[in-house]
Each structure stands twice: as structure tokens, then as C-alpha cells.
Amino acid sequence: MSTADLVVIGAGPTGLFATYYAGFRGLRVALVDSLPELGGQITAMYPEKAILDVAGFPSVKGRDLVSGLVTQAMTADPALHLDRTAETLVHEGDRVVVGLDDGTRIEAGAVLITAGIGKFSPRALPAAEGWLGRGLEFFVPSFEPYQGKDVVIVGGGDSAFDWAQHLEPIAASVTLVHRRDAFRAHQRTVATVRDSSVEIITKAQVTALRGEDTLQEVEITVDGQEPHTRPAQAVVAALGFIADLGALQTWGIDTDKRHVCVDTSMRTNLERVFAAGDITEYPGKVRLIAVGFGEAATAVNNAAVAIDPSAHVFPGHSSEG
């Protein structure tokens, strides 16, 4: 058994900022994440991605944003529990006890869930079974391995277009294949990719991958046409994720199956349990990193009062310290 004032579950951007802010409020923090590194999905999947919607940064790489957030969070001297999954949550009087998958139990005055989309797994590309690591990838954590290669990206969302935009200057060729002629990606990114050398093939699917030990070509089938092949040494399947709230769904927290329901104070229906960031849902919710930062501060300030009723919700500005 270890103790803390606040347990933060999820070490992505929102969780890291919440950790810093809890330290500013004088709270002892235990930070838990199922991944072995800090940074959440950005570290795992998008370290090279240019992030454009964080205030004060016209453009910042994911890894650089995480680096700054980690430096900031470590000023709170949190107890880190990485590569650990929170499995149980029970109330014992005015305390909350979180049980981890390694047997650790953390007793705290409050819990803040900042777990993003929860546990996630990429959606499979049916034609690519058996090709993972032999030319097929679901994420692009580094652009260097794609230097001089013919790359096919499958998908029509933000990740597909972001990776197409970043790989276009370094790959021999980039082809983006999408099963519809409409895209879910940000319009500005779509326009940028359309104006580049990236070939966009719509109403189409990748129906086969071929090669000996490594990938050499793909088969693409456009609706109503005969399949055709083209050279490819790399395929990126950016088809989204299957999210799972996991054990959290057994804790009695109100959810809409995909997100945790909170009020304007970031409280869940469970006493002393708060949530912030992409995992939350409420009327008018907007899922941006910048919004998560604000929600983290709101949650921590209200959790501080739950932990110590003599505390104030708003302690003043950090710049006044």
C-alpha cells in the first residue's frame, strides 16, 4: 500500500499537466499509466506529428510538447507507476483505493482519470494479415525508415493525411487510398495534401499485399474497376482505433460506453473521482489538447477541496507564487 493525495490515471498531455497543477496546489501525486513511457498516445504513435492547436505554439512536434510537459510535471515530484494498469477502485471511508495489476494499492483522497480514449488497438486492414512488421505498420513514430520508399497509406482521417503530408518530402512516392470520396481529416490538411505530389485514390481499397520476405507491391481495387498493382515497400493502415475503457467500466462510473460522463466541475458520479481530457463527455464537449489542459486545472482545483474542505477551489495564479 502506498499513499497519495491524488491519483492521476493516464500520463498523456492532460494527465501530465494535471500532475504539475496538483503539485502547484501542494498535493502529493501518484501518476499511473499502462504504457512504459510518459506522454500517452503522442509518445506511442505521433511523436513526429506537428500539433497546431496548442495555445502559444504555432506548430510543435508531439515529442517536443511531451518533453515540456514532462519537465513541468516532474516539478510535482510524482510517484510514477508506469507499465501498470489500474484495475480496481473502491471507497474506504473518505479515501479512495486504486488497485494496480501488479498488486500495488494506492490510497488517496481523490482520483483523476485522464486516460484519453482508454486502452486502444488499431483497426485491422483485412488484406494485410500476417504483414505486420514486414512492410505493414499502424503508426509512424519515425519518418526516417520511409526514406526513398514507395508508401501506401490507407485511410481518410487526420492521421492518414498528417502522415501523407510529412512523408511526401522524403518518400519516393506516397499514395493515399480511401474507401470513400469524402474525408474526415481537417480541411486545411486535405487541401495541402491535394496540392502535393501525393496521389489520392478514392472509392478504393487495398485488396492484397505481395512480396517474398518483405513487401514489394500492393493490389488496389477501385469500385467498378479491375484490380491493379503498384510498387510499395511500406503500407500504413490508418484506419482508426477500437477503444476500450477496460476495467474502468466495472467501477460503477457513468459512461456513454466510450467516455466518462462528468459535470462542469469534472466530477463523475462517484464521490472523489474526477475525469478530464478526451475520456470525458458533457454537452458541448470539444476534444482538443488545449481543452484538456483547462479541464485538468478545473478537476484538480475541485479535487483539492474534496481532499481538504478548508481549501479554496481557486488558489490564485501560479505566476503569483
Model confidence pLDDT, tens digit, residues 29-46 = 999 998 888 998 887 777
What lies within 8 Å, CB to CB, of 156 at 6+ separation is 176, 178, 179, 180, 182, 183, 184, 185
Amino acid 250 reads T
Q: Which residue in the block uniquely carries the three cell numbers 487510398?
A: 177
What lies within 8 Å, CB to CB, of 140 at 6+ separation is 48, 146, 163, 166, 167, 236
Name 96's bridge partners. Answer: 91, 108
| pLDDT value of residue 277 | 96
The domains located in the chain, with CATH, are 2-120+242-320 (3.50.50.60), 124-237 (3.50.50.60)
Cell of 89: 477502485
pLDDT over 70 percentage in the chain = 98
CB atoms within 10 A of CB 92: 8
Q: Give 118's pLDDT tier (boundaries 50, 70, 90).
A: low
pLDDT(321) > 60 = no
Of the candidates 306, 215, 230, 237, which has an alpha carbon nearest to the alpha carbon of residue 265?
A: 306
- Exposed, middle or buried by CB within 10 Å (0-12, 13-18, 19+), for 36? exposed
- Write the DSSP assignment of 88-102 as a string of letters: EEEEETTEEEEEETT
Annotated binding site: 14, 33, 41, 46, 86, 120, 278, 319
Q: Give 314's pLDDT tier (boundaries 50, 70, 90).
A: confident
Per-residue pLDDT of 99-115, as tens digits, reads 999 999 999 999 999 99
- Write the DSSP assignment of 174-196 as a string of letters: EEEE-SSSS--S-HHHHHHHHTS
In a 13 Å sphere around the CA of 67, the CA atoms on its Cβ side amount to: 7
Average pLDDT, the chain: 93
Annotated binding site for FAD: 14, 33, 41, 46, 86, 120, 278, 319
- What average pLDDT does this structure show over 245-259? 90
Q: Measured between alpha carbons, how far is residue 165 from residues 144, 214, 241 in Å? A: 14, 25, 21
- What average pLDDT does this structure show over 116-144? 87
pLDDT(318) > 80 = no
What pTM did the predictor assign? 0.77
**What is the distance between the alpha carbons of residues 176 and 188, in angstroms, rounded to a whole number?**
16
54-59 — which CB contacts under 8 Å span 24+ positions?
54/289, 54/290, 55/290
pLDDT over 90 percentage in the chain = 79
